[in-house]
Chains A and B, each alone.
Chain A
């Protein structure tokens, strides 16, 4: 490989390279049925990857409509009715069909068994069923869009959604309802797998933090999703037969719906963010060549978030008419949930301290995550404060807040995961240069899109309105311009990742020199992941002493102390034994 190449160098193969097991999970069978009827967790992960990519594009187009329309104070391109349907489609697609399944159903599916040394998830057929259920849900959502879409906002508040709305509410709600079951199935599968199928030696205290994070996520999926499922049933019954539970004309209480809805949907924001936090713990340690700082604190803060996250749903209802004392309590509990999130941020930062950091794409995305998520989390505290929330509720400030956590946080983490594990999933390296450029463009575009929204919201621009006063014009134009940059940033990975599938250099089994068990398999992995069950002898991040979880020396890392120089590794023989590292053992 020449020094001018733009490809990231797959490092030379280490001595304990697993035998190149020929038929791997991708090439052992090419027929379409071998994909549609597969029970292999890796293939199901890929099926999910393809599906959610489509929904991400769909949700992105809807977002484009919303942002373009806001170019002019009185709506630039679509009618108000279409505008309502566009932002609803955007919310429903992005939340239920992209963000919730994004990491658990793609990377959880693919990597949880590999990270714990198992051959598959506990219930492979259930896993396949979950994908079909998900697609049926998606088909219902598509049906709703085809017959005109929903205009209620993703929150579906009655009585508007049950009586006043003229749009096709039922198919959309049905779609969300059905896809919820796929989320439950995935969560259940992952949880049972983590409990029952860990490799010998893999105690709970040696689990990678990604596994801990997905365990916490699954707990929420299992316990919160059924509650929203039943509330959606009630909405459908009420709308279909004109009799129901929330109808105020017969004494029903619409506020009750909000309680039931947020009892799921607040924890659901942690379904979305926790897996991302797990990804970050993996990537940060690998690219700073250090043990995680405070393993137990990071692991238990995931569980803390999962548990406390159940107790603060009504902070979405401060101005909806709940009692003052309830509001006080929920405000306090919302502050409390920021603590475990902060614990994680501090621990990641401490992990970076004196590490040998290199800036490949996964790392850039992860650093972006830490920075943007922190802003999102801190502005959450403004909203959790009763007095300020009265001013900020239902404004663009809220929109900016949750986009900082969900897009700045979770989508960033999703891309970090995609770039980190891509070589393992497909056995190919992607363009190092382009991936770094894309990561930077995404971060810049993100800032330009959402920072102005904090300002607009603070000045009182309500969310979900198609019009705004002319004074806010400049800020809206900035935001729309930023979203175009963001859109371009998202387009780039689609291109260079696809190119890498056909043209990328072959990745070795462990191109990042990472410690996890998933890297001890060939890339792409063989059908049953491991030829023989691995035996785990140490914790997940022994970068300081340079051994993987099976206690074997790591191959040379992705570059020390600076950006990777593709030439520096070419042809180097792999140094035997653990490379001496200057970092100290922490955590």
Chain B
């Protein structure tokens, strides 16, 4: 979509610039429609299970890092603003301003990814990851309370609580806090009880968490790539005022990615905001 020459921004197969800009804009809007349906499939599936398994989803959500998510939300919203200022600068032919705003957007988006990286890392260290890690952590906590050996009697609920508290104080805790909490919450309940928290379904939530934020993260990276490209083009002087729509088209994409985060944030992080341990 680059303007290849300085002299002429108009591509050979268009009659005039308005037509070219209108086509680019319409093309991007249509692409955004496909993106919405792409995420729509995920959101739809999430909603189904959120309705099937409300308790598990609330529990699982309450263990995510809400602080980082809030900061990240601020970053993205601000970046949507800076890129919009960038369009204005491009329209006015203010090349320095354009580059400044694009770099700001890039930094904010980059900061989002860095924070997200820290968050994933912390989740990983807590073994809060679906699959084998999750299962072995949960099983370890479970077996500490209900030993498999018939010679050792199971701990009572109070003993179990004390045991996990003591473990959490120790220098190298043997159990993750979420696993301990799950075992305690489920103590004495049968798997049929309505308030039993099925660890399998907690994992289901985690699958959604990683897949949704992961795909969103890939979109952020693509957006950052486009912004880097815009910065290079702007520095080359290849974005004259009559070609401002290039910036606009990238900004449309960026707003969508931002907008999707505004849905992901409450669905994933705030679903368990009211969780008080039931």
Note all chain B residues with C-beta closer than 8 A to A224.
Answer: 37
- Describe A's contact surface by its main secondary structure: helix
Q: Which residue of B lies closest to A252 (CB)?
A: B204
Knowing A226-B37, A256-B45 are in contact, say whether A119-B13 is a contact too (CB < 8 A).
Answer: yes
Chain B residues touching A, range: 35 or more
Tell me the chain B residues, 81-100 only, with Cβ under 8 Å from chain A: none
Residue pair A192, B27 in contact (C-beta under 8 Å): yes
Tell me the chain B residues, 1-53 only, with Cβ under 8 Å from chain A: 1, 12-15, 19, 22-23, 26-27, 30-31, 33-35, 37-42, 44-45, 48-49, 52-53
Of the candidates B13, B41, B44, B52, the one whose C-beta lies within 8 Å of that of A120 is: B13
Tell yes or no: A399 within 8 A of B by CB.
Answer: no
Tell me the chain A residues, 246-275 only, with Cβ under 8 Å from chain B: 249-253, 256, 260, 263
> What's the minimum C-beta distance from A323 to chain B, rounded to whole angstroms?
14
> What's the minimum C-beta distance from B52 to chain A, rounded to whole angstroms?
7
Tell yes or no: B116 within 8 A of A by CB.
Answer: no
Note all chain A residues with C-beta closer than 8 A to B12.
Answer: 119-120, 528
Chain A residues touching B, range: 35 or more
Tell yes or no: A118 within 8 A of B by CB.
Answer: yes
Residue pair B203, A245 in contact (C-beta under 8 Å): no
> What's the minimum C-beta distance from B104 to chain A, rounded to whole angstroms?
29
Tell yes or no: B232 within 8 A of A by CB.
Answer: no
Of the candidates A120, A192, A243, A256, the one whose C-beta lies within 8 Å of that of B30 is: A192
Knowing A197-B23, A245-B45 are in contact, say whether A226-B34 is a contact too (CB < 8 A).
Answer: yes
> What's the minimum C-beta distance from A17 to chain B, rounded to whole angstroms?
25
Q: How far is it, in angstroms, between the C-alpha of A409 and the C-alpha of B54 when the chains are bound?
A: 47
> What's the minimum C-beta distance from B149 to chain A, rounded to whole angstroms?
27
Knowing A118-B13, A243-B130 are in contact, say whether A195-B38 is a contact too (CB < 8 A).
Answer: no
Q: How far is it, in angstroms, between the C-alpha of A249 and the C-alpha of B198 when the chains are bound?
A: 11
Of the candidates B19, B30, B208, the one whose C-beta lies within 8 Å of that of A188 is: B30
Q: Which residue of B lies closest to A246 (CB)?
A: B45
Tell yes or no: A122 within 8 A of B by CB.
Answer: yes
Q: Which residue of A lies closest to B43 (CB)?
A: A230
Tell yes or no: B259 within 8 A of A by CB.
Answer: no
> What's the minimum C-beta distance from B15 to chain A, rounded to whole angstroms?
7
Tell yes or no: B107 within 8 A of A by CB.
Answer: no
Residue pair B40, A227 in contact (C-beta under 8 Å): yes
Residue pair A222, B33 in contact (C-beta under 8 Å): yes
Q: How far is it, in angstroms, between the C-alpha of A1 and the C-alpha of B122 when the chains are bound?
A: 82
Residue pair B23, A251 in contact (C-beta under 8 Å): no
Knowing A229-B38, A230-B42, A256-B48 are in contact, say whether A192-B26 is a contact too (CB < 8 A).
Answer: yes
Of the candidates A121, A241, A250, the one whose C-beta lies within 8 Å of that of B201 is: A250
Residue pair A223, B131 in contact (C-beta under 8 Å): no
Tell yes or no: B200 within 8 A of A by CB.
Answer: yes
Note all chain A residues with C-beta closer than 8 A to B19.
Answer: 196-197
> What's the minimum C-beta distance from A396 to chain B, rounded to whole angstroms?
32
Q: Which residue of A lies closest to B19 (CB)?
A: A196
Knowing A195-B26, A245-B211 are in contact, say whether A250-B45 is a contact too (CB < 8 A).
Answer: no
Q: How far is it, in angstroms, between the C-alpha of A233 and the C-alpha of B219 when the chains are bound?
A: 15
Tell yes or no: A520 within 8 A of B by CB.
Answer: no
Note all chain B residues with C-beta closer than 8 A to A250.
Answer: 200-201, 203-204
> What's the minimum C-beta distance from B132 to chain A, rounded to whole angstroms?
8
Tell yes or no: A191 within 8 A of B by CB.
Answer: yes
Tell yes or no: A533 within 8 A of B by CB.
Answer: yes
Residue pair B208, A245 in contact (C-beta under 8 Å): yes
Note all chain B residues with C-beta closer than 8 A to A260.
Answer: 41, 44-45
Tell yes or no: B207 within 8 A of A by CB.
Answer: yes
Q: How far is it, in angstroms, between the C-alpha of A118 and the C-alpha of B12 when the chains are bound?
A: 11
Note all chain A residues with C-beta closer than 8 A to B204.
Answer: 245, 250-252
Of the candidates A122, A125, A243, the one whose C-beta lies within 8 Å of that of B207 is: A243
Residue pair A223, B27 in contact (C-beta under 8 Å): no
Q: Which residue of B lies closest to A120 (CB)?
A: B13
Note all chain A residues with C-beta closer than 8 A to B14.
Answer: 197
Residue pair B211, A226 in contact (C-beta under 8 Å): no
Note all chain B residues with C-beta closer than 8 A to A225.
Answer: 34
Residue pair A222, B34 in contact (C-beta under 8 Å): yes
Binary per-residue interface labels of chain B (167-184) against chain A in the complex, 1 for a CB within 8 Å, 0 otherwise: 000000000000000000
Note all chain B residues with C-beta closer than 8 A to A304.
Answer: none
> A223-B37, A243-B203, A251-B49 provided; 8 other pairs, C-beta below 8 A?
A120-B12, A222-B34, A227-B41, A243-B131, A250-B200, A250-B203, A250-B204, A252-B49
A-B contact pairs, 7 of them (CB 8 A): A189-B27, A193-B23, A223-B33, A226-B37, A245-B49, A245-B207, A251-B200
